[in-house]
Amino acid sequence: MIEAVVFDAYGTLFDVNSVIDACEQLYPGKGTFISQTWRQKQLEYTWLRALMNRFVDFEAINRDSLRFSLNKLKLEFSEDTIEKLTAAYLNLTPYPEVVDALNAFQPRQLLILSNGTSKMLHIVVENAGLESYFTAILSVDALKTYKPNPQVYQLAVTKLGISKEKVLFLSSNGWDVAGSKSFGFTVGWINRTGNPIEELGVQPDYQVQDLLELAHLISR
């Protein structure tokens, strides 16, 4: 029944906490806290910018949210610091099970649908050596809005030309799970950290701990 699998990128395929090391080098002992504050603010800024109709791309969001976070934590920084730390988003580590899971999901079509810019996404996928797995990497760039705006999820349907329920959308982000399910996809929540479910009025079709577990589930 599932004909294509669409993956969220940040937090789902790629570990956003890979930036902790880069933060730790510049601010010893504070890497984890910076990374978490930055990620939270990054998400907030995508939601707020989308609602305000004041889009800037994810590279700008990434710099702006880092600037706010360092100010909030009362840490000194230069523009060079901002460039160095945001560059870490181009070298995120895939989660350990990603390659096995991508192999297990084949021969279905595999796509990425992400808030990242087209450029950022292509670089991070290439740096991880995963480019051969994906038939398309879809970015919000052209739409000038962000998830969970339903227009973003529609991008994948338009690209694939198949009905929503035949698309399995996978995300580790609870709010992205709610947004994609509300849109109408078949949805799997990769609940890597044992989070409670978001109370947004929709439930995912699957809840698993990692991508490989889900690949096995739908192959049965």
Instruction: Count CB neighbours of 54 within 10 A.
Output: 9
97 binds a copy of itself (CB under 8 A): no
Find the binder of a copy of itself among 32, 56, 87, 162 (CB under 8 A). 56
Specify whether 8 is catalytic.
yes
Exactly one of 8, 15, 57, 176 is catalytic; name it: 8
Min dist. Cβ of residue 182 to a copy of itself (A): 5
Find the binder of a copy of itself among 24, 64, 97, 141 (CB under 8 A). 64
Distance of CA 104 to the CA centre of its chain: 21
41 neighbors 69 (Cβ within 8 angstroms): yes
Alpha helices for the chain (secondary structure H): 19-26, 31-52, 58-72, 79-87, 98-105, 118-127, 150-160, 174-183, 211-219
206 neighbors 214 (Cβ within 8 angstroms): yes
Find the binder of a copy of itself among 24, 59, 141, 198 (CB under 8 A). 198
Nearer to a copy of itself, 91 or 149 (CB): 149
145 neighbors 55 (Cβ within 8 angstroms): yes
Binding residues for a copy of itself, rule CB under 8 A, total: 34
Span 169-188, contacts to a copy of itself by CB under 8 A: 175, 178-179, 182
Span 67-96, contacts to a copy of itself by CB under 8 A: 67-68, 71-72
What would the DSSP string read from start to end of 73-122? TT----HHHHHHHHHGGGSPEEPTTHHHHHHHHTTSEEEEEESS-HHHHH
Instruction: Compute the chain's Rg from CA coordinates.
Output: 17
Find the binder of a copy of itself among 150, 162, 209, 217 (CB under 8 A). 150
CA distance 156 to 6: 8
Binding mask 20-49 for a copy of itself (x = CB under 8 A): ------------------------xx-xxx
User: Which residues are near a copy of itself by CB under 8 A?
Assistant: 44-45, 47-54, 56, 64-65, 67-68, 71-72, 146-150, 175, 178-179, 182, 195-202
* Catalytic residue list: 8
